[in-house]
Amino acid sequence: MERSADIPVGNVRVKSMHPKKFAMWLFLITVTMIFVSLTSAYIVKRAEGNWLLIEFPSMFQWTSAIIIISSVSMQMAYIFAKHNNLLGVRASLLGTALLAVAFIVGQFMSWGQLVNQDVFFVGNPAGSFIYVFTGLHVAHLVGGVIFLIIVLINAFRYKVHSKSMVQIEMCATYWHFLGGLWLYLYLFLILNN
Amino acid sequence: MSVADIQVEEHLAHDDHGDHHEQSFISKYIFSTDHKTIAKQFLITGIIWAIIGGALSVIFRLQLGFPEMQLEWLRPILGKWITEGGKLDSEFYLALVTMHGTIMVFFVLTAGLSGTFSNFLIPLQIGARDMASGFMNMLSYWFFFLSSVIMFVSLFLETGPAGGGWTVYPPLSALPQAIAGSGAGMTLWLVSMVFFIASTLLGGINYITTVINMRTEGLSFSRLPLTIWAFFITAVIGLLSFPVLVAAALLLVFDRSFGTSFYLSEIYINGEALPNVGGSPILYQHLFWFLGHPEVYIVILPALGITSEIISTNSRKPIFGYRAMIGSILAIAFLSFIVWAHHMFVTGLNPFLGSIFMFLTLIIAVPSAVKAFNYITTMWKGNIVFTPAMLFSIGLVSFFISGGLTGLFLGNSAVDITLHDTYFVVAHFHLVMGSASFFGLLAGVYHWFPKMFGRMMDERLGYIHFWSTFVGVYLVFFPLHYIGIAGFPRRYYSFTSFDAFSSFADLNSFVSLAAILTFGAQFIFLFNFFFSIYKGRKAPKNPWNSNTLEWTTPELPGHGNWPGAIPKVYRWPYDYSKPGSESDFIPQHIPYSQTPESNLPHEAELAKKEEISQVNESK
C-alpha cells in the first residue's frame, strides 16, 4: 500500500493524504471532542460550587512517565520499520505493548489510591470526573493496544517494512495521540483542581 | 488541489469493475458495500420510521384535539395504554411525544436524509466509483439498523418507551423511579443512541474523506455542486457535535446505573431523600444543546443543498450567488456551535450571557436570509419547470422563511421568557426544521428517483401529494403559533381543566383534523414510490436536463457507477441558459473548447489550455 496518493492535477502530480490515514485523523477529532466536552463539563461544574478538593494519586506521575516512554518506543518501531530492521520493529512494538499494560495497571492502582483517600466513583462529581477521565482514556488505550497487536502480528508476517508503512504510521499516530491526551488530562486536572 | 485517484483504494477498484461477476443476493442487497444500495437501505428504513413517527403524532393529536373521545378502538394496537375509561394513558402520552421527536429528528431527518442522499449523491456527483471505505459505509447502515431495532423494541416494553422528552433532561431521565418511561425504555433509548451515533460518525468520516480525497479530475471545491457542499459541511458538523452527545449520554448512564451524581443533587422522590449530592442538571443541558443545536443544522443543511440543486435545474438558471451560498453554509455551520444557550434562557442563565447568546443567535438570520433571497432570485425570471421536486423545493423555501421568522422572536432572550416551552416553539421548529427538511427529503426523492430505480415517479400523484401536504402543513402548524401565544405549554396531556384554554378547544380540534389529513396524504406518496419502483415509466439518462455528473451515468448505474472511464470536469455545475449556447444546459463534463459560442472571455482562455483526456485510472 502506498504512503500517499499520487494525484494528477493538470500536468503536475501532487501528493494527497491516504484516505485511510485521513479517516484516522477524523476519528481522532471525534475522540478529542469527547474529551474536550468532558473537561468543559468539569470546568462548568466546578464553577457552580459544591466541589471537593482532591489530592491526585502519586501514581499518575509514574503512569505519565510510562506513557511517554511507550511513545518513544513506538516511534522507534516506526523508524526501525523505515529502515527495514524487522527485529527492531518487533522488539519495540512488543516493548510498547508491555508498557501499555504497565500503564493500564498503573491507572488501576491510582484508582486504589483514590479509594484510600475516600474518593469513590459514586459521590461528589469532583471525584467521579477523575474516574471518568482515566477510565475513558484507558478504554481508548485498549483499542490502541488491539491495533498495536494487529501491527505486531503483521510485523511477524513480514508485512511491515519501508514499502508498507501505512498501518504502522496510523498506529504510531494513534499512540502519540493517546499519550498526548493523557498528558492533557493530567495537566488539566492539576491546573483545575 | 487534490483530485480523485482510485489507485489508492486498490481493493475497491478491483471490486468495482465487477459488473461481470455475479454477486449473491446477500452481498448485493443486504450486506452491500455499494453506496447506492446503502443509500436505498437508508431511504426505505427512513420511510418506515417516518410512518411510525407520523402515526404516533396522530395518536397524541387525537388526545389533544378531542380530549373526550373514546379511544377504545385503539386497544388492539395500544393494549393497556388505553385506560379502563377508554382514554389514552397520561404517561404513555409523554412517551408518544418523546418517541415522535426522537424518531423524526434522528431516525428520519438525520439518518433518512443525510444517510440517503450523502451516500447516493457524493460518489455520483464528484465522479467516484464508490465511497472511500465501502465497508465502513456498510457498517454505518447496519449500526443504524441495530439502533433502529433497539428503539423499535423499546416501543413494546411493559413500562413503555422513554418518556422524558426527546431531549431526555435529567433528573427526570436519570431516575428510573421518576416515571414509567424513565425505566427500561430510557435505558434502551440510550443504548440505541450509542449505536446511532456510531453509525453517524462512521458515515460522516466516510463522506468527508470521500469529498476531500476522491473528486474526479477538474472538480475543484469551487466547482462542487451545492448539494455536495451541504453534505460535506453537514458531516463536519456531525463529526464535531455528536461526540459531545456521547459525553452527555455517558455521564447520564453513570448517573442512572452506577449512582454517580453528575446531574443529580439533593433530590427527594416520593418523600424519600436520595443520596446524590453535588451534581447539576443544567450541566446536562449545556452538553446536550452543544450537540442539539448543531443537530438542527445537520437536519436542515442537506435539505437546503438538495433544494439549491433542484431550484437551479428547474429554473433553468444558474444558482444566484454560488459563492454566497457556500459562504452562508459555512457561516451557519460556524454559528451553530456558539448559540446553544439560547435553548436555556430560562434555566437561570446569567442575563448578560443570555444577551450574548441572543446576539449570536440573531446573526444566524443573516446567512439564512442570504439563502432565502438566493433561492428567490434564482427563480426570478427563470423558465421554471414545475416538477414535483421543484414544488417541494419551493415549499421548503416557504417553510424556511415563515418558520425562520419566528426564530427571531424566540432567539430574543426577553421574549423567550413568555414563549419558552409553549406551542409557539413547537410551531417554529416544526416549520423551519421539521417540515422544511421533510420537504427537502421528498424533493430529493422525486428528483433522484430516476437515478435510484431507473424509473419515473408519477407526476400527477406528485402534484396531489404536494398540494395536500403543503396546505396541510400550514393548516397544522400555523394555528399553533396562536395556541402558543395564548400560553399553552408543550407536552401537557390535557387542557380541559383550564378554563382559560377552553376557547381554543375548537382550534385544537381543527389542527388535529388537519394533521390526520396531512398524514393520510403521505400514503399517496407511498403508493407512488413503491408502485413506481416496479411499474413506473422507464427513465431516460438525464430526465431533468441537469448538469451534474450523476446524469452522465447509465439509466440504472451499476457497481462502479460509470461503465467506462470516469468523466472529467471542466466547468461549474450551473451553466443553465448560458447566453450564446444553443442548448439551455451545458453539463459539467463538456470542455470549454467544445462550446466556443458561449464561452466568457476568461473561459475562452481556459479553453486554450484545456487537455481533453480521460481520467487516469491506473488499474
Quick count: other Cβ atoms within 10 Å of Cβ B392? 28
Task: Indicate the SS3 state at residue A7.
Answer: strand
- At B240 the pLDDT is 95
B393-406 pLDDT, tens digit per residue, is 999 999 999 999 99
Verify whether the Cβ–Cβ distance B247 to A31 is below 8 Å: no
The answer on pLDDT for B267 being more than 70 is: yes
Rounded to a whole number of angstroms, the distance from the CA of B51 to the nearest CA of chain A is 32
Rounded to a whole number of angstroms, the distance from the CA of B270 to the nearest CA of chain A is 22
Say yes or no: B421 contacts chain A, CB-CB below 8 A.
Answer: no
Tell me the chain B residues in contact with residue A45 when contact means C-beta distances shorter than 8 Å. Answer: 262, 279-280, 283
Give the model's confidence band at B276: pLDDT under 50 very low, under 70 low, under 90 confident, else very high.
confident
Q: Give dist(CA B267, CA B262) in Å, integer.
A: 13
- At A49 the pLDDT is 82
Give the model's confidence band at B610: pLDDT under 50 very low, under 70 low, under 90 confident, else very high.
confident
Nearest by CB to residue A37, choosing from B1, B208, B287, is B287
What residue in A sits closest to B616 (Cα-Cα)? A8
The answer on pLDDT for A15 being more than 50 is: no
What is the model's pTM?
0.92
Alpha carbon dihedral A86, A89, A91, A97, in 10-degree steps, equals: -150
Helical packing angle, B436-453 and B116-126, nearest 10°? 50
Instruction: Please state the rounded mean pLDDT for residues A71-76.
Output: 96
Give the model's confidence band at B174: pLDDT under 50 very low, under 70 low, under 90 confident, else very high.
very high
- At B265 the pLDDT is 87
The answer on pLDDT for B252 being more than 90 is: yes
Q: What is the ipTM of this complex?
A: 0.89
- At A10 the pLDDT is 41
Tell me the chain B residues in contact with residue A16 when contact means C-beta distances shorter than 8 Å. Answer: 2, 5, 213
Say yes or no: B287 contacts chain A, CB-CB below 8 A.
Answer: yes
- At B534 the pLDDT is 96
The answer on pLDDT for B255 being more than 60 is: yes
Say yes or no: B290 contacts chain A, CB-CB below 8 A.
Answer: yes
The answer on pLDDT for B3 being more than 80 is: no
Instruction: Please state the rounded mean pLDDT for residues B292-298.
Output: 94
**Cα separation values, B58 from B110, B163, B476, B520, Å:** 22, 17, 12, 10
Say yes or no: B242 contacts chain A, CB-CB below 8 A.
Answer: yes
The answer on pLDDT for B194 being more than 70 is: yes
What residue in A sits closest to B615 (Cα-Cα)? A8
Give the model's confidence band at B11: pLDDT under 50 very low, under 70 low, under 90 confident, else very high.
very low
Q: Give dist(CA B601, CA B250) in Å, integer.
A: 59
Q: Give the H/E segment covering residue A6.
A: strand A4-9
The answer on pLDDT for B1 being more than 50 is: no
The answer on pLDDT for A136 being more than 80 is: yes
What residue in B sits closest to A51 (Cα-Cα)? B278
Instruction: Please state the rounded mean pLDDT for residues B524-528.
Output: 97
Verify whether the Cβ–Cβ distance A37 to B262 is below 8 Å: no
- At A16 the pLDDT is 65
Instruction: Return the amino acid letter for A83.
Output: H
The answer on pLDDT for B520 being more than 70 is: yes
Beta partners for B82?
Answer: B88
Q: Give dist(CA A66, CA B116) in Å, integer.
A: 46
Tell me the chain A residues in contact with residue B241 when contact means C-beta distances shorter than 8 Å. Answer: 33
CATH code of the domain in which A35 resides? 1.20.120.80
- At B614 the pLDDT is 57
Q: What is the percentage of chain B residues whose pLDDT exceeds 70? A: 95
The answer on pLDDT for B5 being more than 60 is: no
**Cα separation values, B411 from A17, A128, B38, B359, B417, Å:** 42, 35, 38, 8, 10
N-term to C-term CA, chain B: 22
Q: What is the mean pLDDT of chain B?
A: 92
Q: What is the DSSP letter of B280?
A: -
Lookup result for grid cell 475513558: A136
* Mutate: best of A7, A32, A119, partner B, most B CBs <10 A: A7
B50-96 pLDDT, tens digit per residue, is 999 999 999 999 999 999 999 999 999 898 999 999 999 999 999 99
A83-106 pLDDT, tens digit per residue, is 999 999 999 999 999 999 999 999
Instruction: Please state the rounded mean pLDDT for residues B198-211.
Output: 95
Which A residues 59-98 touch B at CB under 8 Å? none
The answer on pLDDT for A9 being more than 80 is: no
Verify whether the Cβ–Cβ distance A124 to B254 is below 8 Å: no
Nearest by CB to residue B283, choosing from A33, A34, A45, is A45
Nearest by CB to residue A41, choosing from B241, B247, B258, is B247
Say yes or no: A34 contacts chain B, CB-CB below 8 A.
Answer: yes
Verify whether the Cβ–Cβ distance B265 to A51 is below 8 Å: no
Rounded to a whole number of angstroms, the distance from the CA of A133 to the nearest CA of chain B is 11
Rounded to a whole number of angstroms, the distance from the CA of A91 to the nearest CA of chain B is 30
Say yes or no: A52 contacts chain B, CB-CB below 8 A.
Answer: yes
Instruction: Please state the rounded mean pLDDT for residues A37-53.
Output: 89
What residue in B sits closest to A21 (Cα-Cα)? B209
Give the model's confidence band at B9: pLDDT under 50 very low, under 70 low, under 90 confident, else very high.
very low
Give the model's confidence band at B21: pLDDT under 50 very low, under 70 low, under 90 confident, else very high.
low
Instruction: Please state the rounded mean pLDDT for residues B284-300.
Output: 94
Q: Give dist(CA B202, CA B188) in Å, integer.
A: 21
Instruction: Return the amino acid letter for B512.
Output: S
The set of cell numbers assigned to B45 is 428504513
Structural domain spans, chain B: 1-10+32-224, 558-619
* Mutate: best of B126, B201, B260, partner A, most A CBs <10 A: B260
Q: Give dist(CA B284, CA B342) in Å, integer.
A: 15
Say yes or no: A9 contacts chain B, CB-CB below 8 A.
Answer: yes
Give the model's confidence band at B615: pLDDT under 50 very low, under 70 low, under 90 confident, else very high.
low
Q: Domain residues for A94?
A: 4-191
Q: Give dist(CA B587, CA B581) in Å, integer.
A: 12
Q: Do residues B3 and B216 touch, judged by C-beta distance below 8 A? A: yes
- At B617 the pLDDT is 54
B209-236 pLDDT, tens digit per residue, is 999 988 999 999 999 999 999 999 999 9
Which B residues 2-41 touch A at CB under 8 Å? 2-5, 7-10
Rounded to a whole number of angstroms, the distance from the CA of A163 to the nearest CA of chain B is 14
- At B537 the pLDDT is 95
What residue in A sits closest to B9 (Cα-Cα)? A19
A146-173 pLDDT, tens digit per residue, is 999 999 999 999 988 888 899 999 999 9
User: How many domains, in total, are found in chain A?
Assistant: 1
- At B87 the pLDDT is 92
Helices (H), B82-160: 90-102, 116-126, 134-154
The set of cell numbers assigned to B574 is 450551473
What residue in A sits closest to B131 (Cα-Cα)? A19
- At B148 the pLDDT is 97
The answer on pLDDT for B2 being more than 80 is: no
CATH assignment, B1-10+32-224: 1.20.210.10
* Mutate: best of A14, A30, A130, partner B, most B CBs <10 A: A30
Tell me the chain B residues in contact with residue A46 when contact means C-beta distances shorter than 8 Å. Answer: none
Instruction: Please state the rounded mean pLDDT for residues B129-149.
Output: 94
Verify whether the Cβ–Cβ distance B209 to A22 is below 8 Å: yes
Residues, chain A: 193
Give the model's confidence band at B497: pLDDT under 50 very low, under 70 low, under 90 confident, else very high.
confident
Categorise residue B490: left if φ over 0, alpha if ψ from -120 to 50, beta otherwise: beta
Instruction: Please state the rounded mean pLDDT for residues A33-49.
Output: 92
